[in-house]
Amino acid sequence: MDGLQKKAVQQTFTFLVNYVDPLHIIAQLYEQEAVTQEVMKQILHDNVRHKRAMIFFVEIVNTCPFDVLIDCMKKTQHGFVAEKLLEQYHQLVTKQNAFVQPGILHMVDIPHGRYIGEELALFLENGEIDKFEWNVFSIVSKWDVEYKSMTPSIEKSRVARVVMDAKIAWIKFLVEAGQKCDILAEIDDGKNMTVQTDNPVTSLCKVLAYQAQMMMIQKKGDIDGTLHEYERIKAKAESERLDAFEATRFYITDFLIDYRSYERTGKREIKDRIKTSLDKMTDLADSLADRNEAVKEHLSVYVRRCQLVKLLLYLGMTHKGKLLPGPVSEEDLKSAKSDLEQTCRDGEFENLKKGWKMMVHVAQARLRQLEGNYEGAFQQAKFAKDLSNQLEHRFEERQNITELLENIHSTRTNP
């Protein structure tokens, strides 16, 4: 397929996956040498239709001529799907937008691979679920087809880390979107990848941190047991010599766990630990910023997220916008106001992704509420609510914003 044809498949990926069963067309495609033996075997042996379709459409763009795919679908019950795909392609031709395969698919392009989580998160921050799914399954499929059976090497271990991070991002997406997800069953797949990465102990530590965090979200499972295992592996990892990037990972894992603990308990000492972790993460990110421009961009995204999380923390909220009990000190209120002004300065706000804009509106609403400006607070919370409706996967934030609106309405009528 040419660039525009690949882009048409990418932009209709969710629709294609929802309505096509590759089993009905793969034999005909194989006869025309439009699909590889490896993909043929995967499709025939996978019992889950949705997964079959994802693998199929990720791989087919590299092996199958576009007109052959359209013709095969039209000859089966997938004619309406072929028309949808053709319509999308014709729109792209009209606009003459050239397709460039996302850089994160160049999985051995280090240091890009080290920031795979940030790259995938950017799609979700802007509500681009199709692109997120496409890239996750492209990465996993590339591993299954090209790397899984490869002899151990430095390249393979680096790619394994990228795949592990992609799998974790997928599980995190499912949980945070409120979809049904068996954490232990899903996370085991990520754990199995850790032994093949270039730093298995540190990788396992990261997986356990996400496991604990997601168990806290779902409020089920042996959270204490997972936290104990995390601390044991962390102690082992800290005895090894770590570079600045790996050290940053530890601050991230501590942050993830502490924030959920703070949400459950509201303890001041945990809040102080989180602030310290955020400061250390920002400082270490700055120490890595003397790399190339692509790395600097990833780090700037990372630092911006840390700043926003700290801003919400000052306002007595979690990084998901949940109101926590207890007063907000004058000192914290002053810090929040200063940080918020910096976030919105010089038109920077307009360049933010939808997810960050939503949470900045949440912060503005909370600040105005604490200052007694209830009308302004209600208006900012409504802006956040409108953006949350465009980000359907942000289940927890939507719920928290609704509660914030109710809280502001209550204080507005009964100050």
Q: What is the DSSP string of 274-296?
A: HHHHHHHHHHHHHHTTTS-HHHH
Joined tokens for residue 245? 């990037």
Higher-pLDDT residue of 246 and 261 is 261
| Residue 111 scores a pLDDT above 60 | no
| Residue 282 scores a pLDDT above 80 | no
Judged by DSSP in three states, 23 sits in: helix
What is the distance between the alpha carbons of residues 338 and 119, in angstroms, rounded to a whole number?
Answer: 29
Judged by DSSP in three states, 323 sits in: strand
- Cβ(284)–Cβ(251) below 8 Å: yes
Burial 299-338 (b: 16+ CB within 10 A, else e): bebbbbbbebbbbbbbbbbbbbbbbbeeebeeebbebbbe
Kindly indicate the confidence band of residue 366, based on its pLDDT and cuts at 50, 70 and 90.
very high
What is the distance between the alpha carbons of residues 292 and 122, in angstroms, rounded to a whole number?
Answer: 19
pLDDT in tens, 159-191: 888 888 888 888 888 887 877 777 777 788 788
Joined tokens for residue 200? 């298995």
Burial category of 348 from C-beta neighbours within 10 Å (exposed 0-12, middle 13-18, buried 19 and up): exposed
pLDDT in tens, 63-81: 788 878 888 888 877 888 8
What is the distance between the alpha carbons of residues 352 and 334, in angstroms, rounded to a whole number?
Answer: 23
User: Which pLDDT belongs to residue 97?
Assistant: 33
| Residue 383 scores a pLDDT above 90 | yes
Q: What are the start-end ranges of the E strands in 324-371?
A: none
Angle (nearest 5°) at CA 168 between 164 and 169: 115
Higher-pLDDT residue of 10 and 362 is 362
- Cβ(302)–Cβ(309) below 8 Å: no
Sign of CA dihedral 169, 171, 174, 178: negative
- State how far the alpha carbon of 125 is from the alpha carbons of 42, 46, 119, in Å: 32, 31, 10
